[in-house]
Chains A and B, each alone.
Chain A
Amino acid sequence: MRKPAVRPPLSPLNHTKGNPVTSPKSVRRRWLGSVAAVAASSLLITGCASSSGGGSSSSSGGSSGGGVDGKTVVFIPKSLGNKYFQASDKGGKTAVEEFKGKFQEVGPTEASPTAQSSFIQTATQQQAGAIVLAANDPNAVCADLKAAQQAGVKVVTFDSDTKCRDLFINQVTVQGVADGLVDLMGKHLNGTGKVGIESGGPNATNLNAWVDAIKATMAKKYPNVQIVDVVYGNDVDADSYNAAKGLIQNHPDLNGIIAPDSVAVKEAGHFLSDSPQYQGKVWLTGLGLPSELKDYVHSGVIEQFGLWNPEDLGFLAAYAAKALMAGDIKGKEGDKFEAGKLGSYTVGKDGEVVLGPLKVFDKSNVDQFSF
């Protein structure tokens, strides 16, 4: 089928050889172009046609109960080389090896909205058992995820959700963040004092939800702890430093700062390190990365802070994928599954599974984490 398509255009070429005067370069070039184009397209298309019978799409598998041995779980982080996802994927690898699946980590080098698309397609093609994804964009990869699901691949998201998946592993709920941070602060102040909040951007939806929840929880659990101010550092180092400075200088009787934002807590710690006169007077806590805060923890500027453990997050996501692959659960509300050392989990509303309460970091464990 390919040959006849290629042949005819060849004859004028032969002709030009014998009669060079009538062969301007442009004509020859055009012929060559079309020959090659026809050859290329026919190859592509015949290539497809011939294999469409045998190979067929990957919908054969599905997961009919029981064994997940040897099934591949493909972790797709937002981008490679990100410490946070290196940690979560490490947890995922541990879990997958525990239940004797095959672990694979692939991903883009840059976190653009559509960069994960081709990796999802490839995993679908390779008939992976499950894809565990931290989505760069809630929508951009939906078409590909749906195609994956149709081909029998289970889809679990973590860190960042999409609108098309079987399960979402949420690191922590809004209330979980509020409870964790309010308890750390409330206990340290013995239930009385004045506290400021330093957040990131004033328009960040998740941060605002946390700030509101912290206010409400504090009022309920520790009514004598007064939240005097909320300042914003815009997720920028210098702004966050100045926001902490302003907060402390404007409220001379301030006892504590809650910073539910990793830049804010880091820079508030930075300001306290630079200002020994406030150390011991203002107690700082928040959500931060162990790698960024460990110096402050060792120098005593920060005693305790919270975060979730990304390794556990990846570990749980892998076990959720396993339960889906084995057909133990469908991802409906109320479904229960076991997640190894983390224990038993129940699927909540909208197919969400919550990892658990905040993990508290202090001198004893801050060095154990790479992220």
Chain B
Amino acid sequence: MTAVAERAPAPAYLRHDKPLWRRVLLRTDTALLVVLIAVILWATVSVPFFAQPFTYSTVLLAMAPILLMVPPVTLIVVTGEIDLSVGSVLGVSSAIFGLLVQHGLPLALAAIVSVLAGSLIGALNGLLVTVLGVPSLAVTIGTLALFRGVAVGLLGTTAITSFPGDAATWLRANIGNLAVPRIILVVVVVAVLFGVVLHATTAGRGIFAIGLSSETALFSGVAVNRTKLLLFVASGTVAALTGVLFTLLYSNAIGTNGIGLELQVVTAIVLGGVSIWGGRGTLFGAIVGALLIGVLSKALQLLNVGSDVIGVITGGALILSVVVASVAGFVSRRRRTAAVVQPSGGP
């Protein structure tokens, strides 16, 4: 272990800095990208029927709702909070959207109202967390159940299906000759937006600071509560937008839409190397995590592996990723301690 540090010649900063390959590869998100590429290569070579455009377009289509909801929830997780209500917000938004369209409202207006409803639910989550100081886990488990109930209550067991069929066709159609459905454009816009906020703005640094230590962040001038509130509103808004798109994608508004998606979102985020304790992670990692789950389960499905086993494998991958990340963290902390100790004896 120390051999590496000793081999590095004089300049002091190199001791603190790891070599490039290690900086690039020993990050959970890049490592995960390597895994994703490896899985794709493996599947292309050895999984029958995998190597065709249909694979990519269906994986992206299936993962689109999750990919959409991952960015805002990632930001919330980075602050050390969590939002488990997104699946239910999707359901409520789908139900409201369906009812409004059924009552003759133009699609665009109905969509706006549904998305605003999502913002309100997000605000409710945010206020309960920031004003009352209730843990977000408790709050959003509550709203998860509450709004699933509302969604199912709004429509009962009936489904509304009177959506223009060309909306679904349009969203599902590929962009040009790429095996990428158009709905992914929305994903890209949302991901870039949240990615820039998290990784390239002062607000983003504030978000990381909150996750590392809420109090330190507060004393450093980060508006902790306002940031959290805004993030919950953003999460509700995006989840509701996902609800509208989901409804159009499947031409189907029903209260059970999006049931259970919140856990898939959180799985992707944690698999993507975002620390559930906050303060650590990248949006890129979370998105790669989601893609990895999608590609892996498609490949396994094509191999006729049952969904029970796919669940076991996805869960195993999640645990493995967390364990590897924490072991790597442990090793790098050890090394950093060693690096700090050594220079004191040097020039």
Contact = CB atoms under 8 A, between A and B. Distances in A.
A127 interface: yes
A122 B51 CA distance: 13
A139 interface: yes
A14 B178 contact: no
B262 interface: no
B37 A43 contact: yes
Interface on chain B toward A: helix, strand, loop, or mixed SS?
helix
B36 interface: yes
A106 B307 contact: yes
Contact of B58 (A44, A110, A114, A118): A118
A29 B199 contact: yes
Interface in B146-161: 156, 159, 161
A54 B51 CA distance: 9
Interface in B235-272: 246, 249-252, 254, 256-257, 259-260
A104 B284 contact: no
B53 A52 contact: yes
Contacts of B24: 13, 32
B54 A125 contact: yes
Contact of B51 (A26, A44, A55, A124): A55
Interface in A186-221: 203
Given A17-B20, A20-B13, A57 B54 contact: yes
Interface in A28-68: 28-30, 32-33, 36-37, 39-40, 43-45, 47-49, 51-52, 54-58
B54 A58 contact: yes
B301 A118 contact: yes
A49 B179 CA distance: 8
Contacts of A137: 159, 252, 254
A139 B159 contact: yes
B29 interface: yes
- Interface size of B as a range: 35 or more
Contact of B282 (A33, A39, A138, A203): A33
A110 B264 CA distance: 13
A62 to B, nearest CB: 17
Interface core residue of A37, A54, A124 (most chain B CB under 10 Å):
A37
B29 A36 contact: yes
Given A47-B56, A58-B54, A80 B307 contact: yes
A142 B58 CA distance: 14
B304 A104 contact: yes
Nearest to A204: B157
A112 B151 CA distance: 14
Contacts of A36: 29-30, 33, 284, 288
B302 A112 contact: no
Interface in A151-174: none
Contacts of A126: 48-49, 302
B40 interface: yes
B301 A51 contact: no
A346 interface: no
Contacts of B205: 26
A92 interface: no
A106 B301 CA distance: 9
A113 B257 contact: yes
B344 interface: no
Contact of A114 (B44, B52, B250): B250
B74 to A, nearest CB: 13
Nearest to B261: A112
13 contacts: A17-B20, A51-B52, A57-B54, A58-B49, A110-B260, A118-B301, A121-B62, A122-B302, A125-B55, A125-B58, A125-B302, A126-B48, A139-B161
Given A106-B301, A137-B159, 14 more contacts: A29-B282, A30-B200, A33-B199, A36-B29, A40-B288, A45-B178, A47-B56, A51-B53, A54-B51, A106-B304, A112-B256, A138-B161, A139-B159, A143-B168
Interface of B: 13, 17, 20, 23-24, 27, 29-30, 33, 36-37, 40, 44, 48-49, 51-56, 58, 62, 156, 159, 161, 168-169, 172, 177-180, 195, 199-200, 205, 246, 249-252, 254, 256-257, 259-260, 282, 284, 288, 291, 297-298, 301-302, 304, 306-308, 311
